[in-house]
Structure 1
């Protein structure tokens, strides 16, 4: 198979027109047989150049490959057909796992680790502290409508992980070929086909919920077993090298290998691991606010003179902005949600956490994004491994107080935040309306922020407004605080075996363990861990709990 690059099309075009352009590039007549599929689609909007949609095409060329490679030069490459999965016989002969693997957490890393293991007969037991996605949706909607929080079933905890209630963005900087495996499997489970090749693929929270359920059913059909609404309270390493897990339902379970795929909000689990001597380290993370604009203004600025054609083809526009403060601190947008809303993402009583979410259609009035500032351990001046969590909690508690202790979130306009206009708690007449659920509360949250955080946000926001005028619109809405963009700790693991450096057989992976950021990179990490377990030993089906 060949991959043909640089098939350039006008914005409005059909698949038939793609084939005509492909045949022209290949020098093939209209009657010659041609089998192809889209591998990548990107958008070229460089200034001074005509707007184009650019494709890479996978071509089934057969014995024509050598001739086409020579003809097309750098615009063609041969794809090697490699089986990057393991067979069920991949474990060392004679080395048998006594118990099924345990996967703790069913976010992206846990899902893809469990799927890969179950595909090869390892019958993993998946333990998820939160609820099945169907009940989880009900619990979250109750929280957003009434302010009644379920600490174990919310935006952070439950089937699918935190990403289930987001834009469902699948972009990743990783060049790992497993990334395409992730996209292909998601599409097979019901995600839109275009995620296989779009430059910026996304699923949308409404579709992703169904995909997550389909993944669970697939794993069950392959022999996996699930325990929902069950928290792992203790992980002990026994003298014989096995692990014993104590669960919140009173059960105890043993296993040779444990995949630790908890999310970045599993604070009590981090504390438990620290108490058990598992090696953890503080790591940098980020905190900030959610910023909202009118999506129509973002489209106008991003799409410019191609507005009508690009809105028709791609819908709501995205953006990604970065800045560096005069003091060298990074400020950046994160998890931008076109045509979406800001929602409560709390998981602990007495704390307000914000997040963004979009449906597949991205058809709501506002765009929103996290606006974050990089935070290092030096900023909270404590060597305690979990002090980053306390830093997050302090911001969440301050927002809870300012929001009236009912999970309302404090908000203010960009103009007020930057000091371009006086703060007015009674003025709610701006052209941009806050979307936060359960409910927004007009409040000046600047005094609740450490000085370095306030100064960095103001500096970064001003710089970003110079790059993208609509971004610093004085009527823009800032809602506080976004604190759960990444994990404040890293569970240390061997770079070759992926096992905990202090507890061999324990496999930290994904975003919560500090090795990924986002759905796709977390899924890739889960697959890599599963692949190593597949080389460790063959499964022996045996009950693992009592």
Structure 2
């Protein structure tokens, strides 16, 4: 029986000590230890607004055994190996994996097709990018089991709470090996060192329940007749048929966008954002946010920044994106001849560096829609990524400039130590970004420098380019059936279709698409 709900502020020393926290919660609530059977910690967040950073907790105190649903529900998967109803799931990122598991729960056999390799084999391809600067177009930081999020941080925070059950997604992750802390923390995070094992467990659950997961299986064509999708064709020439196809390929599968456009499937150009990664000493961010460089038990400090800019009479937002405290900048190109950067953090977030994307909105009016049609945003991205590669010498080394020098529009005689393994080359970033985008970022950085002391100085450097913030294309779908408005049997899903923006929102969208497939089958 629920006795009392309580919210309180504690010092980190007490908040992160289980016994001390328990005593503090009961004391604050005026409850004697013998009167409480169980204390359920519901939420934990850092409150750094005062002189002394504190930890804000919300907890429920139970006077008797708490309800079973407090610890679940857990998920049990029926065996669908011999089921006649099948669904193809293209892509084994969070949208695809969660779509497959939800299909199984609904009695549908999923056939998951992933162009890249499994999480363990992917590591060799990532090492080849970092050390040998060789990009495998099918297995890299974006493609492969788990999708882009597996080796790009594993942040689980989302604002898309109206799109599905966030708690359900987090509980499924915990059931498959994620730390239970993600059920409590305001900004949950698994970490790139731990997320691969969770992804592998999700895959094993699919296979154990009779689903299929095929790696090194790239889709190259559609079995499309009279606006009815009957299945797909792989690079090996195999035709795979199913009643429905969930397309969950992620935001960087440019060949899929081109395939859809070539086959006359309706797609649309959409706005996205593009900019750079900025890298600071983590100590500087800790000092600014916690007012002390030694954070003790507190996690590496993060930040969230936004500013409205105006250049040539056009207003555009500039904002921080995928901030990675205690993290690393990584190469996220998906083809030779381009340079793309992203950020990641291990679970402990113990790197000496903090990095974040700082990006500006790119609207349809900024693209050449007249020439490239729905692929205009894709061409916009490609052009800047190729310029970045050329400016830095044609390898995976990235163009970079000291932030203070960028603001003064002067070249950097030297660069700082970096977490980016392939290395940096000093470049005037205006030459890569162009004058309009560069000026937007300057306005944003100047504003951010007023908000965070030391931020907009030569203590930091910008690294280019951060261009894969979201898909530059939307694959339309009916808002009720989630099916493509023209092509029956096609269910656009997740980030690649323009309906999600991170691991959790993509997972929720995958589950919704699976439910839509099941609903269609019942008609």
Return the TM-score normalized by structure 1. Answer: 0.87
CA deviation string 1:418-444 (max 9, x = no partner) = 116x314xx32x5x3123232211222
Q: Work out the CA distance in 1 between the residues paired with 2:33 and 2:290.
A: 35
CA contact 1:341–1:436 (8 Å) conserved in 2: yes
CA deviation string 1:61-109 (max 9, x = no partner) = 56999xxxxxxxxxxxxx99997999989xxxxxx99541111001111
Match among 416, 429, 442 for residue 458 of structure 1 = 442
Q: Work out the CA distance in 1 between the residues paired with 2:455 and 2:113.
A: 42
1:53 matched to which residue of 2? 55
Match among 482, 501, 504 for residue 485 of structure 2 = 501
Gaps of 5+ in 1: 66-78, 90-95, 539-546
Secondary structure at 2:194 match in 1: helix
Match among 287, 296, 302 for residue 300 of structure 1 = 287
Q: Quickly say closer, same or farther: Cα 1:122–1:99, change in 2 above 3 A.
A: closer
Which 10-residue stretch deviates more, 226-235 or 528-537? 528-537
1:112 matched to which residue of 2? 98
Between 1 and 2, higher relative CO (CA 8 Å, sep ≥ 6) is seen in 1
Which 10-residue stretch deviates more, 7-16 or 205-214? 7-16
Q: Work out the CA distance in 2 between the residues paired with 1:224 and 1:88.
A: 10
Q: Quickly say closer, same or farther: Cα 1:175–1:5, change in 2 above 3 A.
A: farther
Match among 12, 37, 52 for residue 40 of structure 2 = 37
Task: Please list, as runs of the form range in 1=range in 2, the aligned pairs for 1:171-182 lying within 5 A after superposition.
Answer: 171-176=157-162, 178-182=165-169
1:10 matched to which residue of 2? 11
1:92 matched to which residue of 2? none
Alignment coverage as a number of residue pairs: 511
1:244 matched to which residue of 2? 231
1:410 matched to which residue of 2? 399
CA deviation string 1:391-444 (max 9, x = no partner) = 101001111111111221111111221116x314xx32x5x3123232211222
Secondary structure at 2:302 match in 1: coil
CA contact 1:118–1:222 (8 Å) conserved in 2: yes
1:268 matched to which residue of 2? 255
Structure 1 position 317, deviation (Å): 1.0
Task: Please list, as runs of the form range in 1=range in 2, the aligned pairs for 1:368-517 lying within 5 A after superposition.
Answer: 368-383=355-370, 384-419=373-408, 422-424=410-412, 427-428=413-414, 432-517=416-501
CA deviation string 1:478-523 (max 9, x = no partner) = 1111111100011111111211111232111111110111111111
Task: Please list, as runs of the form range in 1=range in 2, the aligned pairs for 1:160-171 lying within 5 A after superposition.
Answer: 160-171=146-157
Structure 1 position 448, deviation (Å): 2.7
Q: Quickly say closer, same or farther: Cα 1:528–1:314, change in 2 above 3 A.
A: farther
Q: Quickly say closer, same or farther: Cα 1:88–1:506, change in 2 above 3 A.
A: farther
Which 10-residue stretch deviates more, 4-13 or 53-62? 53-62
Q: Work out the CA distance in 1 between the residues paired with 2:203 and 2:453.
A: 44
Q: Quickly say closer, same or farther: Cα 1:320–1:137, change in 2 above 3 A.
A: same
1:335 matched to which residue of 2? 322
Q: Work out the CA distance in 1 between the residues paired with 2:208 and 2:70.
A: 31
CA deviation string 1:267-315 (max 9, x = no partner) = 110111122332211111011011101011111111115x54xx33233
Match among 303, 306, 321 for residue 322 of structure 1 = 306
Q: Work out the CA distance in 1 between the residues paired with 2:521 and 2:9.
A: 49
1:198 matched to which residue of 2? 185
1:518 matched to which residue of 2? 502
CA contact 1:433–1:477 (8 Å) conserved in 2: no
RMSD: 2.7
2:221 matched to which residue of 1? 234
Which 10-residue stretch deviates more, 371-380 or 472-481? 472-481
Return the TM-score normalized by structure 2. Answer: 0.91
Q: Quickly say closer, same or farther: Cα 1:480–1:12, change in 2 above 3 A.
A: same
1:254 matched to which residue of 2? 241
Gaps of 5+ in 2: none
Structure 1 position 15, deviation (Å): 2.6
CA contact 1:192–1:203 (8 Å) conserved in 2: yes
Q: Work out the CA distance in 2 between the residues paired with 1:457 and 1:392.
A: 17
Match among 22, 34, 56 for residue 19 of structure 1 = 22
Q: Work out the CA distance in 1 between the residues paired with 2:193 and 2:271.
A: 32
Secondary structure at 1:386 match in 2: helix
Q: Work out the CA distance in 2 between the residues paired with 1:252 and 1:52.
A: 58
